[in-house]
Every structure is written in C-alpha cells, then in structure tokens.
A = this chain, B = another copy of it.
Amino acid sequence: MRNILLTVQYDGTNYSGWQKQEGQITIQQTIEVALKEICGHEIELFASGRTDAGVHAYAQMANFTCECNIPSEKIAYAVNSKLPDDIKVIKSEEVNLGFHARFNAKRKTYLYKLYFSPQPLPLKERNYVRIQYDLDLNQIKRSARYFIGTHDFATFTTAVDMREKETTRTIYSVKIVKKPDNEVFIYVTGNGFLHNMVRIIVGTLLEVGRGKIRSRQIKQIIELKNRKSAGATAPAKGLHLLKVYY
C-alpha cells in the first residue's frame, strides 16, 4: 500500500467545484473515476481543501491510498490519459503513509486575476474578472496590510449550512501586483482560509480602490465580525489556488 500525492491543475469553469456531490460534475469525482480505471480499485482523494464552483487551481494537492503496481511517478501519465483537457495531474509522487494533503498543509497562496477594460476581453474571459472603473492601487496596497497577522476573520466568510466554529486565521501576506496589459494580480497567503474568504477580501479591496471604503476602516471591519460590513464576494472565475506549502 502506498500513499500517493498528486499535484493537480484545473480550469474550474465547467465544474461544480472540487468536492464530490450527488448529481454534480466535480473535479474530485472526475479524478477519482479516472484513478479507479487505472488502479482497479475504489479511490478516495484527500485534497488540501475544497475549491468552489468556477475556481481554478495551478497546483491543488491531493493524496490517496493506492494498491496498484504502477510506479508512483508514472501515475500522472496514466491518469492523464483518462482525464479531460481541463483537469490534469502535473505530478505524482509517493509520500509517507501518515501524510494528509489537508492536515499537513502549512500555508496556501491564492491568486486573484483582474483586468481593466471598457469591453470584455474573450481571451481573458475564463480566468479573470473585469474592472470597468478606476482603482486607486495605492489605497488598496495601504489597506492590504490590515489583513496581515492573526485575526478572527468572521467578517470574511459566508455562513452556509454549517457555520465554521473557529474563524481565526493567520494571513502572512497580501500582495497587489500591477502587471502589463492592464492587469492586476492579488496574491493572498495564509495558514488557512474560511469559505469565500479570499473572494470577500478581494471584494473589499475593490471597494477600497473605488473609494467606497477607506483603507484604515479595514481594521474596524475585521473587528466587527459581521459579513455585512465587508465588500461583495468577488466572482469565482478570477480565483486560482496557486500553491500549497507543506
């Protein structure tokens, strides 16, 4: 028995997110079906965390217990022959039996991609969110520092059915990078993220950039622990799980 760790890249446009759900086409289910075909037995994948419908990943990490004889590093090639073009395993490797892609994750970096244009640009359609108004990037950068550190981020999560009990997380960095071609990339690194947390942080930064929220209000917005005090949840399609650190 081996414990195999996969590095998975996907374009989430056509999927109902990572997590297996009855009657939905999800990334987890698609990979599990493909792995079952090549391994010959049922597979349960453990990912570093869920990604929502429409969210992408450069390098999602997921492990599973394998009883087949395919060399660990060849599993990527074998499973890719069964996977669709928008989900591929870019690396497969054997790890210690005790390793768990979620419990062992120390940090994660998400990347949110924005572009400015009066008209929508089809070549950025799937992986970016368009901004039609001017943004004050200096104000955004100034406000970003208030997120850094260990805070109760109850303001920055969507309570679904099951409310997350523990809402304290540590954010290590929020980087706003102006790119060529009227693009802005926002990188957020933390020890873990609540449901919709990065998207609500981005939505709030955009309100700061438009002058609707002042940068120094961020401290108070965090302290209020009230979802309504923050900006809108930015759309899923701009969000990418960039890297998981172990």
Where the two chains meet, the residues of A that have a C-beta atom closer than 8 Å to any C-beta of B are: 9-11, 56, 58, 76-77, 80, 85-91, 117, 119-123, 125-127, 240
Would A11 and B86 be within 8 Å (CB), given that A91-B119, A119-B76 are in contact?
no
This chain: how many copies in the complex? 2
Bound Cα distance A80, B117 (Å): 13
Q: How far is the CA of A85 from the CA of B87 in the complex (A)?
A: 22
Main secondary structure of the interface of A (DSSP, over half): mixed
Closest beta carbon of chain B to A197's beta carbon, Å: 22
Contact, CB under 8 Å: B119 / A87:
no
Cβ contacts A to B, 15 pairs, < 8 Å? A9-B121, A9-B122, A58-B123, A76-B119, A77-B119, A80-B119, A80-B120, A85-B120, A86-B125, A88-B119, A88-B120, A88-B121, A88-B122, A91-B119, A126-B126
Across-interface contacts of A121 in B (CB, < 8 A): 9, 88, 90
* Chain B residues in 8 Å Cβ range of A119: 76-77, 80, 88-91
Q: Given the complex, which residues of B lie within 8 Å of A10, measured CB to CB?
A: 122-123
- Do residues B87 and A122 form an inter-chain contact, with CB atoms below 8 A? yes
CB distance from A185 to the nearest CB of B (A): 13
Interchain nearest-CB distance for A178 vs B (Å): 16
Q: Contacts A117-B90, A119-B91; is A125 near B80 (CB within 8 Å)?
A: no
A122 & B86 in contact (Cβ 8 Å cutoff): yes
Which chain B residue lies CB-closest to A7?
A: B119
Q: Which residue of B lies closest to A76 (CB)?
A: B119
Nearest-neighbour CB distance to chain B for A184, whole angstroms, equals 17
Known interface pairs A76-B119, A80-B120, A119-B80. Does A125 touch B11 (Cβ–Cβ under 8 Å)?
Answer: yes
Shortest C-beta distance, A123 to chain B (Å), equals: 6
Q: Which has the most chain B C-beta neighbours within 10 Å: A123, A125, A127?
A: A123
